[in-house]
């Protein structure tokens, strides 16, 4: 009769040790839900601003939404959720801002592969607790897929109006973020939460 007791004690000890060394599975799921909500707010706000500015000043006028407003919107959402928020991609328009780090590269590869296998929407997410020099961080990545609206600035010469092509060429030499069709893997939103 003493054997199961020992096993149970060992299990309890293991669980307690888990609590001391990092967030539980449930805590991670809660962080993931909060990250998902933050990405949802970012995408919704950006799309709203894009539509509004395209209607007001044409697509060439809306370029500033992605360039100047996007980081500000992301900053506000980051502050509200106590995280950092960054857009990353393998095909950057603005490599200074959107080049993925090592973890982000691995997460994007994983999500791109899942997308190729047919995974869609909210399921296109990847998260992990990562040990770093400054302690543990909860890291989260949500995949971004192109839609019809994105074609005005990320599509082909047939879908990008000449005025937009001219402005992109002037502002983003070496732009890699064109040539997309709708429903292709574009990159992701990366969230970091210090624990």
CB of 56 to ligand HEC, least distance (A): 12
Give dist(CA 133, CA 129) in Å, integer: 13
Cβ 66 to ligand HEC shortest distance, Å: 3
Tell me how far, at minimum, the Cβ of 44 lies from ligand HEC, in Å: 11
Q: Compute the distance between CA of residue 169 and CA of residue 191 in angstroms, rounded to an integer.
A: 30
Nearer to ligand HEC, 70 or 83 (CB): 70
Residues 102/131, Cβ–Cβ less than 8 Å: no
Kindly report the CA angle at 157 between 154 and 159, in degrees rounded to 5?
Answer: 65
> Given the rule CB under 6 A, which residues bind ligand HEC?
50, 59, 62-63, 66-67, 87, 89, 92-94, 97-98, 144, 146-147, 149-150, 152-154, 177, 186-187
Angle, CA of 59, 60 and 61, to the nearest 5°: 90
CA distance 192 to 190: 7
In terms of CB distance, is 83 or 145 closer to ligand HEC?
A: 145
Residue 151, number of CB atoms within 10 A of its CB? 18
Q: Which residue number, 22 or 103, has a Cβ lying nearer to ligand HEC?
A: 103
**CB 146, min distance to ligand HEC, A:** 5
Closer to ligand HEC by CB, 129 or 147: give it. 147
């Amino acid at each position: 009769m003493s054997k199961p007791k020992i096993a149970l004690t060992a299990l309890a000890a293991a669980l307690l040790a888990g609590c001391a060394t990092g967030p539980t599975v449930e805590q991670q799921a809660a962080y993931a839900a909060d990250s998902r909500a933050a990405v949802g707010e970012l995408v919704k706000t950006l799309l709203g601003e894009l539509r509004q500015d395209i209607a007001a000043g044409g697509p060439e006028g809306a370029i500033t939404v992605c360039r100047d407003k996007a980081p500000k919107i992301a900053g506000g959402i980051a502050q509200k959720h106590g995280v950092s928020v960054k857009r990353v991609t393998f095909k950057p328009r603005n490599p200074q801002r959107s080049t993925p780090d090592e973890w982000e590269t691995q997460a994007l590869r994983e999500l791109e592969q899942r997308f190729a296998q047919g995974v869609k929407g909210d399921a296109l997410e990847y998260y992990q607790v990562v040990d770093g020099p400054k302690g543990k961080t909860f890291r989260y990545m949500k995949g971004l897929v192109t839609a019809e609206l994105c074609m005005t600035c990320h599509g082909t010469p047939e879908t990008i109006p000449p005025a937009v092509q001219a402005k992109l060429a002037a502002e983003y030499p070496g732009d890699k973020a064109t040539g997309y069709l709708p429903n292709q893997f574009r990159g992701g939103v990366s969230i970091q939460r210090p624990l």
